[in-house]
Structure 1
Amino acid sequence: YEQYKGSSIPESRLPRKQGSAKSLKVIVWNVGGLRSFLEKRSKDLKRLVDKESPSVFGFMEHRLQKGQQVAECVEKLSQLLPDYHIDAHSFHCCEQKKGYSGVVMFWKKSLTSSVKQLKHEKLEPGSTEGRTVVLELEKMYIVLCYVLNSGDGLGRLSERLTTFDPNLRKLLQGLARRKPVALLGDLNVAHQDADIWNLEAPHIPKSASTTPEERESFGRLLSAGFVDAFNHQHPEARGAFTYWSVRAGNKKWNRGLRLDYTVVSQKLTEQQGTRLLDAFHLPHYAPAGDHCPIGATFEQAV
């Protein structure tokens, strides 16, 4: 993207595919604090849900504590989105640190007959940080994950590479042996060169999410029988980011990183049975905040 220095990076215009009555649409969003998000940006959420009508919705980094904080958000979300099944059990919370991490998944009430269970996964390290939930449906698994960030100074890089990433791979491989699986979430890695707006900057190889080691680790997940759904659907896409630094004011210039993904088991890219129909980013629903919602649609999934 060097040729765009001093100007905005253009984003490829990507066609969307319309699902059928048997399709399942999943949308997830890192909101960086759900209480504040619902106070200030509930209109963005309502507009998104009204227009996209996802079957399943997930938030990452809700930052809530179990108990009253979760109860208040369940009430607000239930009023805002009356067609969805939202309960306290769906919230996986960080147990050791206040205002940190946490994921939640909820679904349309009309999908409830297809839902078998929602399970909180406790992947090491950070097993108490509320990073992963698994929704088992009749025909597939949906995994929502907020991957451990290596942090400033890369203080957690080693534990991520040696423990968290391998444990996530193992979880996905185990699920995929039973039925097709889709992982969605903030995976805190920019895998390809096109996923980094300032690839040439000297700090990039030494920064969380863009180290060569993290990028290679994501490659190992793909080598283990999984597919980057967005890249599979849109291999030519450029300027297709999901994260922009608010501090640097990068959104208006589209200077970002692609940190949020849908990763699917190989089986979902085949033409038979339950399969991937579309993978997409929704930046126009996120005028504020540092991440935009992303999602995928699966055919013959319900």
Structure 2
Amino acid sequence: METLKIATFNINGIRSRLPALLEWLARETPDVVCLQELKAPDAAFPAEAIRAAGYGAIWQGQASWNGVAILARGMEPLEIRRGLPGGEGDTHSRYLEAAAHGVIVGCLYLPNGNPQPGPKFDYKLAWFERLIEHAAGLYASGHPVVLAGDYNVVPTDEDIYNPRSWQKDALLQPESRACYARLLEQGWTDALRARHPDARLYTFWDYFRQHWQKDSGLRIDHLLLSADLAPRLRDAGVDRWVRDLPHASDHAPTWILLDQATEAQPAPRRKTPAKRPRKQPGDAAEG
């Protein structure tokens, strides 16, 4: 059966990490890619290089900060919306939604929230509430949906190398984890955890204290699946080799492999023999 590979990657600056992105696209050939932290205005997005690599793209950039994009191999993503509902006055480029390869993809970059407590953490929680409300509508729609991105949430202590030194960080706060849990309670499947329920899997290693070299990581990049996609999950993983490249992002691409949907074929109609008319006297003999 054919498969569909969907990935999320916080690239942490698309202009400086473009060679790594192109190398990864060529080697892993994902079908749909969600990028976060472009850190570039719209005009600086490397559309031509990405198109030359075989991908169509839509993006919402922002100078120096934030920025999200959706790439689709061999096609142009069909944009559905940019920005979450209820964001009047919110100038952050953090959410982009499109249809590609038969799936609706929501690409998100949830606020970090540090330092907490404070206005940045309040903004994180308020943005999370908007996401939860929008996600409920997507889930109820019945469409195949993947919500992929950097959630800036470590769901449990099993998703971090050691929670002790991060206890005051916004990524581990009870309020952040409660929002993520409420999202899952809508019915979404955390694909990486569903595929690897007991594994220590990380998607982010910061640049300090040799955390990459010591594998002192966090799992904060997630792909959530709607009800009809969860049974199609074949595999999920993290392309750790990208984190080991020169001048790498502090995140590694995280991906899922889905079985392609097969259209239901109509049941064949049972053929019933037509009734032959009773021969009447004088009818011609059958040939």
Structure holding more helix per residue: 1
The correspondence of residues 82-161 of structure 1 with structure 2, limited to 5 A, is: 83-86=54-57, 90-94=58-62, 98-109=63-74, 111-112=75-76, 116-123=78-85, 127-137=90-100, 139-155=102-118, 156-161=120-125
Call closer, same or farther: CA 1:251–1:188 in 2, change over 3 Å: same
Q: Say which SS state the counterpart of residue 253 (structure 1) adopts.
A: coil
Q: Is the 8 A contact 1:193 1:199 kept in 2?
A: yes
Moved over 4 A (4+): 123-126
Match of 1:77 in 2: 50
Q: Partner residue of 2:42?
A: 66
Q: Which runs of 5+ in 1 are unaligned?
A: 1-19
Deviation per residue, 1:29-63 (Å, 9 max, x gap): 1111111112xxx1x33332223211112211001
The equivalent residue for 1:193 is: 157
CA contact 2:95–2:107 (8 Å) conserved in 1: yes
CA contact (8 A) 2:84 2:131 kept: no
Corresponding residue for residue 278 of structure 1: 235
**1:204-283 maps to which residues of 2 (within 5 A)?**
204-238=166-200, 240-270=201-231, 275-283=232-240
| 2:192/2:222 contact within 8 Å kept | yes
Counting matched residue pairs gives: 256
Residue identity matched to 2:82: H
Corresponding letter in the other structure for 1:105? I
Change in CA separation of 1:267 and 1:78 when aligned onto 2, cut-off 3 Å: closer
Checking the alignment, whether the CA contact within 8 Å between 2:207 and 2:250 is kept in structure 1 is: yes
- 8 Å CA contact 2:84–2:134 kept in 1: the answer is no
Match in the other structure for 1:16: none
When residues 76 and 138 of structure 1 are mapped into structure 2, their CA distance, relative to the original with a 3 A threshold, is closer
Q: How far apart in 2 are the matches of 1:122 and 1:226? A: 18
Secondary structure of 1:209's match? helix
TM superposition shift of 1:123: 4.9
Is 1:27 the counterpart of 2:10? The answer is no
Q: CA deviation at 1:228?
A: 0.9
What is the CA distance between 1:200 and its match in structure 2?
A: 2.8
The one-letter amino acid paired with 2:211 is N
Q: CA RMSD in A?
A: 2.0
Rounded to whole Å, the distance in 2 between the matches of 1:129 and 1:142 is 19
TM-score of the pair, normalised by structure 2: 0.82
Structure showing greater radius of gyration is 2
The aligned residue for residue 25 of structure 2 is: 49
Given that residues 243 and 290 in structure 1 are in contact (C-alpha distance below 8 angstroms), is that contact kept between their aligned partners in structure 2? yes
Aligned counterpart, 2:254: 294
Deviation for aligned residue 1:28 = 1.8
TM-score when normalising by structure 1: 0.78
